[in-house]
A and B are shown apart, each in its own frame.
Chain A
Amino acid sequence: MNYFPDEVIEHIFDFVTKQRDRNAVSLVCKSWCRIERFSRERVVIGNCYAISAERVIARFPGLKSLTLKGKPHFADFNLVPQGWGGSVDPWIEALAESRVGLEELRLKRMVVSDECLDLLSRSFLNFKSLVLVSCEGFTTDGLAAIAANCRFLRELDLQENEIDDHRGHWLSCFPDSCTSLVSLNFACLKGEINLAALVRLVARSPNLKVLRVNRAVPPDTLQKVLMQAPQLVDLGTGSYVLDPDSESYSKLKATILKCKSIKSLSGFLEVAPRSLPAFYPICLTLTSLNLSYAPGVHGSDLIKLIRQCGRLQRLWILDCIGDKGLAVVASTCKELQELRVFPSDPFGVGHAAVTEEGLVAISAGCPKLHSLLYFCQQMTNAALITVAKNCPNFIRFRLCILDPTKPDPVTMQPLDEGFGAIVQACKKLRRLSMSGLLTDQVFLYIGMYAEQLEMLSIAFAGDSDKGMLYVLNGCKKMRKLEIRDSPFGDGALLKDVGKYETMRSLWMSSCEVTLGGCKTLAMNMPGLNVEIINENDQMEFIIDDEQKVEKMYVYRTLVGPREDKPEFVWTL
């Protein structure tokens, strides 16, 4: 079948980079599969329980970069109890025993232990990059091992992890010979660090492009660091509390002027707003700005800053910016592609919240917008329809109304029509999260129009099984469906059980699904793991199939039920 020698085909495959394409390529014929698998360097495993480490290693011996995701998405919101699973240890152990020359490990929502970080650091000579997002289970001791042992470490990127900070001197564990750092992000660490060690480390890292420090790093140290690294492209400040009339401030301001390459700015974990102007000079070239952790900055200060940022493509901000602030964003940031507006006061009365007005303004001013995460007080159908018309390019649209079943406050209608307009207009929509008052109708629209939809998050929505069925039937590309507190039951669950093998996972919590329904599903689909999470003590009482299941997580897998289940998780 092959007209070319293997080396030529392999070379051609080098240009095929996306995992999906490579997967497709490997289905063509046996020899292509063979060639592809030996040349594959990057593997993304979207669900660590769908396959075993051994099988991955066996198939891709040339593996250099592994991405793993563990817990289901709703674990981010405390819906998955501690101890559920998602440990990366078996993977590291298997990799360490093999001949794989791992260079990059990226983990999301997994449990990582210090022991396995230590093992990781000692097992792979060429290890270059560790990226941990939303992980937990480790301490700064593990980081110390990575720092000490990975001689060619280029990237250590810790995003929003729960790390037990032993306040040790992990930063000092980077040997003096370590000069290869390109990216260092420890913003999520809560403890003190050795400031002098940080400055020295930056000084000997000429390739450093990304540096995001934590709250323990004061402005003085920031200034010293910037002096050593004017080549930075991505800066995350730590605590930014200083008096604009002080000498430290002038010094910092002067130093910032030298940093002409900064494109991305974040941090401000504590901030004195009157000192923000020091950053105005770099605002002109900023493409990414994240102020979503900056507490208590008034809308007016935010607006002044943003007025400087004409080239912004990504903006993460708190809702204290207000609708007025968003209007300024709309008029200033014409290149905006991604916007996230987080609630500054999630349980409060909502003084500083944004409403549909802000979103409409943004949509009118930023036609390139394709990714949105928006927490707001309220939303109207009219606004959503306008947004859909203005921005037909949405790929990700996540709307969260703080009061999850709130109807359109003007018409008191459900938001079906609004979301319907979004899915109809945005033909490239891949991810959608909805909130507000929603009936089965919105799901009908989704099923009909959202052809590219891969991930859907539903909460407190729908009236009947029909809703879920519309989605399951209509969205051919659905991969992840997560539902909470909605009245979907066995009828919807069991209508087309084969569908779940075409998806990565299904999560249903506080719905109408019964134990009997789950059992039926499990019985008919051996290729799925049907896991029930039971947090109550009355396990003994649960013999009755009629009982509703509190939390159900279904995912396709090639390796059967997992062995590391805690006692509150059952696989049916």
Chain B
Amino acid sequence: MSQPLLSAGEEEGRSDVTALSSSLSMESVCPNSSDFKERNYMGLSDCSSVDSSKVSHVDGSKSRLNLKATELRLGLPGSQSPDRDSELRLVSTELDEKPLFPLHPLKDSLQKTVVSGNKRGFSDAMDEFSEGKYANTEVNMLLSPRPSPNLGLKTGSVLENLGSQEPKMKEIAPPKIMQERPHAAKETRPNHSSTNSAPATKAQVVGWPPIRSFRKNSLATVSKNVEEVDGKAGPGALYVKVSMDGAPYLRKVDLKHYSAYQELSSALEKMFSCFTIGQYGSHGALGREISESKLKDLLHGSEYVLTYEDKDGDWMLVGDVPWEMFIYTCKRMRIMKSSDAIGLAPRAMEKCRNRN
């Protein structure tokens, strides 16, 4: 009992993709034009940089040439260096697009689903993430579902991730990307030149890899062996977020990396030194030693207190429990201003006083 309900949907579908993507591009890049009209992909509007997506059921090759570089996809226009892209496209268009969305021009009608701005497949989306963080906030906002009603329902899982996981990305991105680059260089992917960061961003996709949350959580919170693991970063590195009051962004540290509180403490000092020194700007000129001792004062002394949130959700002072137990129970850390550490006040103040 197959019913060819295809035809009805098909026409609409096509124009839908058009309208969606062109309005997308219009919205995002050309604030002037306010209506969502159906666009001719070849006929570019006033905003010459605007273009509809790589919808290819019109003349694909041409669109690839002109539009690729400036298209608005899930990512941001110009988020990949356009020159590099267009050159690559000339040569390797087939290879580029084939894996995800073969941009064979003049495909039959079923190909209408080929591309719209939203559905671009994993690696494209992932690349956009990594690029995304460099983009200006303005464009970022335009990508969010809110302004464009057309995007309302279909945000794409990837887009959702962009919204919900940006903070996560910020933390992970700097160290991870550094690590990932050499590794990723081997993994050339056919469709994008800027795939270097793809391995770093694979953590961002909801529900991938497909492991039951129970198992994922167990792996994350499991305590390490009592015995020593050899030096290299073994399986199950224990990254926790570290925030500092007044700092514009958080950091992440691998608790497995350290074997004692002192090591952790010095590492954190180094990590957050830029913020604290910044607060005392003019001291920079006075030379390193002074800043460092000032820093020590800051972190060990009366200015800041190192606290952590344990498995029960309580905020505890770092240093009370044995190191192994600490790693096992610590979910995240916060470098708190002592003035804020009211709840911890008695002990913290005492400790500070003792140190001072």
B6–A494 touching, CB < 8 Å: yes
* A79 at interface by CB-CB < 8 Å: yes
- Could you say which residues of chain B place their CB within 8 Å of the CB of A342? 211, 215
Contact A405 B123 (CB under 8 A): yes
Say if the beta carbon of A515 comes within 8 Å of chain B.
Answer: yes
* Closest chain B residue to A497, Cβ basis: B3
Question: B2 near A: Cβ within 8 Å?
Answer: yes
**Separation of A544 and B203 alpha carbons in the complex (Å):** 33
- Structural contact, B212 and A544, CB atoms closer than 8 A: no
Q: Does A484 contact B (CB under 8 A)?
A: yes
Kindly state whether residue A447 has any CB partner on chain B within 8 Å. no
Contacts of B115 in A (CB 8 A): 487
Q: Mark A288-318, 1 if CB is under 8 A from B, else 0.
A: 0000110111100000000000000000001
Enumerate chain A residues within 8 angstroms of B167, measured Cβ to Cβ. Answer: none
| B346 close to chain A: CB less than 8 A | no
Least distance between B55 CB and chain A CB atoms (Å): 12
Instruction: Tell which of B16, B110, B213, B216 touches A465, judged by Cβ atoms closer than 8 Å.
Output: B110
* Residue B183 CB within 8 A of the other chain: yes
* Partner-binding segment picked from A30-38, A120-128, A533-541: A533-541
Q: Decide if A510 touches B5 in the complex (CB within 8 Å).
A: no
> A296, B153: Cβ atoms under 8 Å?
no
Which residues from chain B contact A270 at a C-beta distance below 8 Å?
A: 222-223, 225
Residues of B within 8 A of A544 (CB): 149-150, 152-153
Q: How far apart are the CA atoms of A46 and B325 in the complex, in Å?
A: 43
Q: Is A188 an interface residue (CB 8 A)?
A: yes
A346 & B219 in contact (Cβ 8 Å cutoff): yes
Assess whether A134 is in contact with B2, with CB atoms less than 8 Å apart: no
Which B180-220 residues sit within 8 Å CB-CB of chain A? Answer: 180, 183, 187-190, 198-199, 202-203, 205-216, 218-219
Q: Does B112 reach chain A (CB closer than 8 Å)?
A: yes
Taken together as a complex, chains A and B put the C-alpha atoms of A93 and B160 apart, in Å, by 38
CA distance A157 to B336 in the complex (A): 44
With A342-B211, A498-B1, A514-B16 already in contact, the answer to whether A536 and B152 are too (CB < 8 A) is: yes
Interface SS of chain A: loop
- Indicate with 1 or 0, residue by residue over A414-445, a CB within 8 angstroms of chain B CB atoms: 10000000000000000001000101000000
A439 vs B153: C-alpha distance when bound (angstroms): 27
Bound Cα distance A494, B155 (Å): 22
Contact present for A547 and B154 (CB under 8 Å): yes
Shortest CB distance B144–A (Å): 11
- Min C-beta distance of B225 to chain A, whole Å: 5
CB contacts (< 8 Å) of A319 on chain B: these are 235
Q: B1-39, CB under 8 A of A: which get 1 and which 0?
A: 111111011101100100110000000000000000000
Contact B20 A160 (CB under 8 A): no
Segment at the B interface, from A56-64, A84-92, A271-279, A558-566: A271-279
Name the residue of chain B whose CB is nearest to the CB of A292.
B215
Distance A79 CA – B215 CA, assembled complex (angstroms): 16
A348 CB, min distance to chain B CBs, angstroms: 6
Q: Indicate if B226 sits at the interface (CB-CB under 8 A).
A: yes
The residue in B19, B99, B210, B233 that gathers the most chain A C-beta atoms within 10 A of its C-beta is B210
Query: Is B119 among interface residues, defined by CB-CB distance under 8 A?
Result: yes
Q: Find out whether the CB atom of A491 lies under 8 angstroms from the CB atom of B149.
A: no
> Are the CB atoms of B209 and A400 closer together than 8 Å?
yes
* Contact among A407, A488, A491 for B99, CB-based, below 8 A: A407
Give the residues in chain A near B279, CB-CB below 8 Å.
Answer: none
B110 to chain A, nearest CB (A): 4
Q: Does B66 contact A (CB under 8 A)?
A: no
Known: A346-B211, A495-B6. A512 touches B12 (CB 8 A): no
For B144-159 the 0/1 string (1 means CB < 8 A from A) is 0110011011111110
Complexed CA–CA distance, A349 and B113 (Å): 34
User: Could you tell me if B155 and A536 are in contact, using CB atoms closer than 8 angstroms?
Assistant: yes
User: At the interface with chain B, which of A95-103, A361-369, A382-390, A516-524?
Assistant: A516-524
Interface centre among A76, A269, A272 (most CB of B within 10 A): A76
Whether the Cβ atoms of A487 and B2 lie closer than 8 Å is no
Known contacts A77-B208, A546-B19, A547-B154; A351/B235 CB under 8 A: yes
A514: which of B9, B107, B149, B211 is its contact (CB, 8 Å)?
A: B9
- Least CB distance from B194 to A in Å reads 15
* Contacting pair A536 B99 (CB below 8 A): no
A347 CB contact (under 8 Å) in B153, B202, B206, B215: B202
Q: Does A232 contact B (CB under 8 A)?
A: no
**Chain A residue nearest to B99 in the complex (CB):** A437
Judging by beta carbons under 8 Å apart, are A320 and B235 in contact? yes
Residue of A nearest to B102 (CB): A463
Contact between chains at A547 and B112 (CB < 8 Å): no
Closest to A242 in B: B226
User: Is B355 on the interface with A (CB-CB < 8 A)?
Assistant: no
B21 to A: closest C-beta gap in Å? 12
User: Is B353's beta carbon under 8 Å from chain A?
Assistant: no
Task: Please determine whether B216 and A352 come into contact, CB atoms closer than 8 angstroms.
Answer: no
Choose among A488, A495, A549 the residue with the greatest number of B CB atoms under 10 Å from its CB: A495
Please tell me which one of the listed residues B116, B207, B237 contacts residue A74 in the complex, with CB atoms under 8 A apart: B207
Instruction: Select which of B13, B152, B202, B211 is within 8 A of A538 by beta carbon.
Output: B152
Name 15 A/B residue pairs within 8 A (Cβ), A-sorted.
A78-B206, A270-B223, A295-B219, A320-B235, A342-B211, A345-B235, A349-B233, A412-B188, A484-B157, A485-B157, A491-B112, A496-B2, A512-B113, A520-B9, A534-B153
**Contacts A345-B219, A348-B235 given; 11 further ones with Cβ under 8 A?**
A134-B212, A241-B225, A318-B235, A346-B219, A403-B198, A460-B121, A491-B10, A499-B2, A511-B119, A520-B8, A546-B16
Q: Chain B residues in contact with chain A, CB under 8 A?
A: 1-6, 8-10, 12-13, 16, 19-20, 98-102, 107, 109-116, 118-119, 121-123, 145-146, 149-150, 152-158, 160, 179-180, 183, 187-190, 198-199, 202-203, 205-216, 218-219, 222-227, 229, 232-237
The 8 closest A-B pairs by CB, nearest first: A548-B154, A77-B207, A344-B235, A347-B203, A546-B16, A498-B1, A496-B2, A547-B153
